[in-house]
Structure 1
Amino acid sequence: MSNNLLILGAGVDRTQGIDFPLANTLLADVSRYLEGPGKPVDEALRAMLPGLRFSFNNMIARAVDKIATRETHEQKAMVQRVREAIVDLPPEQDSIRKHGELIIRLFEKLATIAEQSYLDKETEALIREVFPKDADDLIDSDSILDIHKLSLSDTFKTVLKRTLKMGLSGEHHAVATALGADMLNIETLLVEKFLGFYNEKPADIKNYLYISWALWAYLVAKQREVLISHGDVKLPFYGKIPNTIRALTLNYTAFLQSHLGDDQVIYFHGGLAEYVRMDTRDLLPVENILECDPADFIRTIIAPNVDVTHEDVRQQRHVIPALVPPLRLKPILSHKYIELWSKASHWVSEAQHIVVVGYSFNNADEHFNDILRCHPGRKIDIVVPEAHSEYFKRRMEAVLNIPASQFNTVKINGHLALQARNVRLIAARASDVNIPSLFGLE
């Protein structure tokens, strides 16, 4: 039994030399992959899914149409992301800053309409005075305008569509990336389409099969590209992990498994090396994942096991990658995940020292956060660039029950850190910290 447990999040695969994209830009990378080297994957998936209408460009139009139905706080959050994206742009990118200012101005006008439509106290009082007996029936909403039924003008729609399409192109565009981080988030898309398995919507199921296997193919191809580029040289970060510890990852890549082996690793959200048959919940292996050709695997192994031709969804056959969608309420793709998550909880309970790297404790992973909540008292070092931000300290209060006011500034291995009780927050990237040293193994 190891007293040391390493927990890895998405930030680890952002390490220079690995350079995997984060979720908020992943969809653009997958889209470009399917139009380029991954074109055979796209063709194999469309052959497997007759009648599929999904495309990432069409998705933009649907995302734009839904803008008016967003809650005011969601629209304000989108504006804030764009504002942050343009605040430090250099003078030579003035045209992009102007583009951002246009988006901000349009959204602020939409937010103003929504805010002005709220029923204020004075208006409510007048309604109650004029209609004293029927006031409760008349006041059935907190607004005098149903903002969700508004339709955006062609001007607004066209500006948004053109901006988002820039985010799918090869050239980085700060405003398109900021806007797409919310509107074109592939994790949000997967969650939306995965529900098709529950409410038996054939179109959503087809879309999920296409999107999830396209994502899987891109990640497999990207993983292979990283491994080939390094040859016999150890991978950044992963190559420095002590082989005497246990590790739990929230990522899908096989880098950790390749370094530590199967017995010392748990893939909490599933991985690229397995897939699931949805009717029997069988968890099946992908043979030799590091050498796998995604298009060939989909054509020869997956397609023969998928049948979406029956009108009755219950008579169809669906095979999906073993990538657990980022839902707060985790779906059970296979009974093996019940055992896996129980094992993860057991490892946390046995650990005396936990080091968390590149994981932001976001709301979508509450299932995992709950495991940490259930086993207090461990020594925990948390390494993320934003560790000292007010937002992250609030997350620590929510997840680990440590008030932000209790943290003191200390220094750990040359890095400034915040410490409260047995928790230390180290503001650093994965590549900047010495994992063996944090565990006291040097």
Structure 2
Amino acid sequence: MLLITGAGVDRTAGIDFPLASTLLADVTRYLDGPGKPVDEALRAMLPGLRFSFNNMIARAVDKIATREPHEQRAMVQRVQAAIADLPAGREAITKHGELIIRLFNKLASIAEQSQLDEETENLIRDVFPADAEDLIDSDSILDIHKLSLSDTFKTVLKRTLKMGLSGEHHEVAAALGADMLNIETLLIEKFLGFYNDKPSDIKNYLYIAWSLWAYLVAKQNEVLAVHNADPLPFYSNIPEGVRAITLNYTAFLQQRLGLERTLYFHGGLAEYVRMDTRNLLPIDSIHTCDPVRFIRELVMPNVDVTQDDLRQQRHVIPALVPPLRLKPILSHRYIELWGQASRWVREATHIVVVGYSFNNADEHFNDILRSHPNPVIDIVAPEATTPEFIARMEKVFCIAASQYSRVEVNGHSAMQARRVRLINATAADVDLAALFGV
């Protein structure tokens, strides 16, 4: 028996961890509030650091014009979805969304209209038959990557995104920030500084990664304190004896099943890495760890970014692997861990997947499931029986949507094809013992 958990599990009521799309806003509010000592300690550790989460808004806006039309259309769709189901009395938010949609549609239209159509290309070939191949060196008559957005466009976007970093939830700002202010994308971008020897990117990575780690540890310990005498939602219902692989960072799973029965595919909060030796170091008592004390007493003495020669510098980073297609190898231990995950999948006769969306960023893990198609696989998600989710499953398991039949599993509506069942339920509603038959 093998359990696989994703971000949806930690969204369960009573745990209430944020999704990746809102994570940056939560980290920002933490650093401005109870996590202010974390910010101060990290800036003391990283002299000359210029990075701030608020300043990255300006850089994100400046990059908008370089996005491809399909990316801009995707942002429009995200904002449309955010305002589609707003209740009555939210007209101001709806109008804000309509403004953003109108601006992005205009930008995407400029890019699309500038594309070289077949008729224009044929005319070029007729007029300049000898030089046509040299003249047609682009698929567009306008290089949108060199366009400069007006101050009007920039100001609207900046103000909208800053609303997403404030304390009050703003649906339109959250929809834009999910794409433009993705902290996991930012991490992988700055991580490249370790490979191309860019000191500023390395310092930025250290600040971002330890800020994220501190927020997650503080949030985790807050949840555990609330449930000190009560069962932890979802996790307390995991049957004894199962193995589990998680795509999350939180230590809830390990606390329930123990170290030997859990694998943290993207790393976890309870370890950190020394970058020059790639040694993976444990963090004792992560469930009671004080982030500020740990950073001051163990991180700061092991970091030195003052040397001009990068080879003389020392860096330690949290063992958090962003779930992107490009997997940075923080330590050789991760190669072994990913191999062990593949073995656990291969050895399992029954796999239950809860709260995992199978998105493209996790294709490395999806491929492990795809490579071992023999076990019974139950996939639990609130949207599991929707056409969009079923279409996503076709890419993972190579099962056409037409092969699924509607069934019922433990009182939940589901779709089944061969050995795969897609169960329409949340992590809080699912009975894991009944699914595993124990």
Pair in the same fold by TM > 0.5? yes
Contact 1:212–1:321 (Cα < 8 Å) also in 2: yes
Contact 1:410–1:416 (Cα < 8 Å) also in 2: yes
Residues 339-366 of structure 1, C-alpha deviations (whole Å, 9 max, x = no match) = 1111111111111000000001111111
1:327 Cα offset (Å) = 2.4
Percent of matched pairs sharing the same residue: 76
Letter in 2 for 1:347: W
Alignment partner for residue 420 of structure 1, among 414, 417, 428? 417
Letter in 2 for 1:431: A
Number of the residue aligned with 1:90: 87
Residues 183-213 of structure 1, C-alpha deviations (whole Å, 9 max, x = no match) = 0111111111111111111111111110110
Number of the residue aligned with 1:61: 58
Count of matched residue pairs: 438
In 2, the alpha carbon distance for the partners of 1:424 and 1:67 equals 40
Matches within 5 A, 1:366-385: 366-385=363-382
In 2, the alpha carbon distance for the partners of 1:326 and 1:90 equals 34
Q: Secondary structure at the match of 2:280?
A: strand
Do residues 249 (structure 1) and 243 (structure 2) align? no
Letter in 2 for 1:352: T
192-201 or 307-316, larger mean C-alpha shift: 307-316
The RMSD of aligned alpha carbons is 0.8
Do residues 394 (structure 1) and 355 (structure 2) align? no
1:329 Cα offset (Å) = 2.8
Letter in 2 for 1:271: G
Do residues 71 (structure 1) and 68 (structure 2) align? yes
Number of the residue aligned with 1:159: 156
Letter in 2 for 1:321: P
Matches within 5 A, 1:28-43: 28-43=25-40
Residues 402-428 of structure 1, C-alpha deviations (whole Å, 9 max, x = no match) = 111111000000000000000000111
186-195 or 409-418, larger mean C-alpha shift: 186-195
Number of the residue aligned with 2:347: 350
Matches within 5 A, 1:170-181: 170-181=167-178
Number of the residue aligned with 2:41: 44
TM-score, normalised via structure 2 length: 0.99
Do residues 301 (structure 1) and 298 (structure 2) align? yes
Letter in 1 for 2:87: P
Do residues 135 (structure 1) and 120 (structure 2) align? no
Q: Secondary structure at the match of 2:50?
A: coil
1:399 Cα offset (Å) = 1.0
In 2, the alpha carbon distance for the partners of 1:140 and 1:21 equals 46
1:312 Cα offset (Å) = 2.7
Alignment partner for residue 122 of structure 1, among 99, 119, 122? 119
In 2, the alpha carbon distance for the partners of 1:77 and 1:205 equals 31
Residues 92-125 of structure 1, C-alpha deviations (whole Å, 9 max, x = no match) = 1100100000000000110110011001111111
Letter in 2 for 1:382: I
Runs of at least 4 residues off by over 6 Å: none
In 1, the alpha carbon distance for the partners of 2:105 and 2:328 equals 37
Letter in 2 for 1:223: Q
Residues 269-297 of structure 1, C-alpha deviations (whole Å, 9 max, x = no match) = 11000000011000001111111110111
Alignment partner for residue 141 of structure 2, among 138, 141, 144? 144
**Gaps (5+ residues) in structure 1?**
none
Number of the residue aligned with 1:258: 255
1:314 Cα offset (Å) = 2.5
Do residues 9 (structure 1) and 20 (structure 2) align? no
Matches within 5 A, 1:202-213: 202-213=199-210
Number of the residue aligned with 1:312: 309
Do residues 237 (structure 1) and 234 (structure 2) align? yes
Number of the residue aligned with 1:279: 276
In 1, the alpha carbon distance for the partners of 2:388 and 2:249 equals 26
**Gaps (5+ residues) in structure 2?**
none
Contact 1:191–1:326 (Cα < 8 Å) also in 2: no
Q: Secondary structure at the match of 1:329?
A: coil
